[in-house]
Structure 1
Amino acid sequence: MNDLIIVAGVGFLSGITTVVFGFGGGFIAVPFVYHFILYTANLSPTESMIIAVATSTAVMIVNTGYASYKSHHGQLIKKEIIFPLVIFIGLGAIFGAYTSTLLHGDKLRYVFFAYILFTIIDCVFRPGFITEATDAKKLKVKESATLGPIIDYIAAMLGVGGSVMTVPLLRRKGYDMNVCVSSANPLAMPVAIVGTIMYAILGHSQSFGADYVGYVNIHIFLALTVFGFLGIVASKKYLPKIKDSVHAKAYICLLSIVLISMMV
């Protein structure tokens, strides 16, 4: 019963962060699933981390899909941001998922940790993120072609949807935080879909039990998805509009909390 309450709470929180920060639930789900599997199943840290990343990636399909649908109706998604970046961002997930299965021991967790730490430092000390939004500049095709596969590769490897690269990228192009996080969700869809398929295939030879499809834990996926959906609905209905500069600072604060959780 206690486990169900914890999973429900984490799922609900992942839904909220999907709407407010464009995380797709990844940065909430990965640390939780890692610790949950590590302490409730007879699995190694390596297996627990890969399962966490894979399950988080699967959850993102539902979270980012529904959040994107709602943001589209709210006219927060701009086509000039999504295209052509979404085309190039779908190229790296296959290699990212494969790389994660090659990182043994705590290496994948260390990469996850380093990625968040670097992002926090970059957002705090490099100008353009915390400051108020300015006149937006459209992404060039060359930038999309260069950054898209890199974002997708890292996102699929860590199960985070790529928002921690796309949000700062769009922020420094002068977009409002609401636009940045709303755009992060549809941009995460290629990562989520391709990544989940790859984790299901790559983990096919593993014998984790009937609860799994490859590396994806079905029971945790369903629980996080259901309560994540409720979190998204509640966020859209009840959360007030956040001031732009406060929104940016809150983004950094949540990343810091995630970082601490992975240190424990």
Structure 2
Amino acid sequence: MNELFIIALAGFTTGITTVLFGFGGGFVVVPFVYQLLVRQPQLAGNAMHIAVGTSTAVMIFNAGWVSYQNWRAGRLSSSILFPLMWFIATGAVAGSWLMGMMSEVLIRALFIFYMLATIGDCLLRKGFFSSNAPRRMSLLTSTGGGFLIGMIAALLGVGGSVMTVPLLRRHGHAMRECISTANPLSLPVALCGAMTYAINGWHKIPSDGFVGFISLKILGLLLVTGWTGIMFSRRTLPAVPDVWHARIYVMLLCMVLLLILF
């Protein structure tokens, strides 16, 4: 019963962070699910693979639903989305392929390093906590940066929002605009990652209720509670001032890092 409550809480939190910060699943789901599964002897050896694989499947639904709502409300800008989305999708294919070649320990270590690098970038480099006039991305940034975002995000099952948001923020966009754009940019990563984890983990989990490394039981509970969190955020939570939106964003990253470490 405690396990179901923990997963439900993670799902509800994921719904809220999807709306407020563009985290479609990975940075909330992965630490919670990993800590839950690593204590089960029959699943401990694949705990990180299951956590990442299930999180990518959650992102398809959460990020997809919020992206649809933002599109209907006219909050998406095609000039920001494209061509960045195509290069992120290309990188996601490469990251998904690399994922199948890496061990459980290496994926967890890369996840921790990724978090440290992202937090350090937000805190140490100027531009994240202050808004400037929007400016267009260079060709090198959209191509090379987009490919790198897609590859790392698919490899670690984190959707890419933690890299796309700082990238857009440093190009002068308000946090609300960055978050709205981050959700559709996470979709190609989620689709590629989920398919790859399903295929690579086929018949590798000695338990029922799995499609490859994706746990259907955990996925179903996360989707129901995640949708509840999305509805709660849209109808209840007030708008956050831009500067505080950026600060809370970094604070949340620090909390997730502590979860995966300890």
Q: Which of the five TM-score ranges fits, normalised by the shorter chain?
A: over 0.9
Q: Determine the structure 2 residue equivalent to 1:43.
A: 43
Deviations 1:118-154 (CA, angstroms, capped at 9, x unpaired):
11111011000011x2211122344222111111110
Structure 1 residue ranges without an equivalent (≥5): none
The residue correspondences of 1:46-125 to structure 2 (distance < 5 A) are 47-125=46-124
Shift of 1:175: 0.2
Superposition TM-score, scaled by structure 1 size: 0.95
Shift of 1:205: 4.1
Shift of 1:37: 1.2
| In 1, Cα distance between equivalents of 2:177 and 2:36 | 33
The residue correspondences of 1:11-50 to structure 2 (distance < 5 A) are 11-45=11-45, 47-50=46-49
Deviations 1:73-122 (CA, angstroms, capped at 9, x unpaired):
33221111111111111012233123233332522111101100111111
Q: Determine the structure 2 residue equivalent to 1:232.
A: 230
Q: Secondary structure at the match of 1:75?
A: coil
| In 1, Cα distance between equivalents of 2:181 and 2:253 | 19
Q: Secondary structure at the match of 2:172?
A: coil
Q: Determine the structure 1 residue equivalent to 2:247.
A: 249
| In 2, Cα distance between equivalents of 1:103 and 1:26 | 18
| In 1, Cα distance between equivalents of 2:102 and 2:44 | 13
Q: Which range moves more in the overlay, 207-216 or 114-123? A: 207-216
Match of 2:159 among 152, 155, 161: 161
Distance 1:167 1:222, change over 3 A: same
**Is 2:122 the partner of 1:129?**
no
Shift of 1:210: 2.3
Q: Which range moves more in the overlay, 105-114 or 213-222? A: 105-114
Q: Determine the structure 1 residue equivalent to 2:176.
A: 178
| In 2, Cα distance between equivalents of 1:8 and 1:41 | 22
Q: Which amino acid aligns with 1:37?
A: L
| In 1, Cα distance between equivalents of 2:186 and 2:26 | 10
Q: Secondary structure at the match of 1:127?
A: coil
Structure 2 residue ranges without an equivalent (≥5): none
Aligned residues of 2:7 and 2:33 also touching (Cα < 8 A):
no
- RMSD over aligned Cα atoms: 1.3
Superposition TM-score, scaled by structure 2 size: 0.96
Q: Determine the structure 2 residue equivalent to 1:216.
A: 214
| In 2, Cα distance between equivalents of 1:106 and 1:115 | 14
Aligned residues of 1:113 and 1:262 also touching (Cα < 8 A):
yes
Q: Secondary structure at the match of 1:40?
A: coil
| In 2, Cα distance between equivalents of 1:231 and 1:111 | 29
**Segments of 4+ in structure 1 off by > 6 A?**
none
Q: Secondary structure at the match of 1:91?
A: helix
Q: Determine the structure 1 residue equivalent to 2:204.
A: 206
Identity %: 44
Q: Secondary structure at the match of 1:236?
A: helix
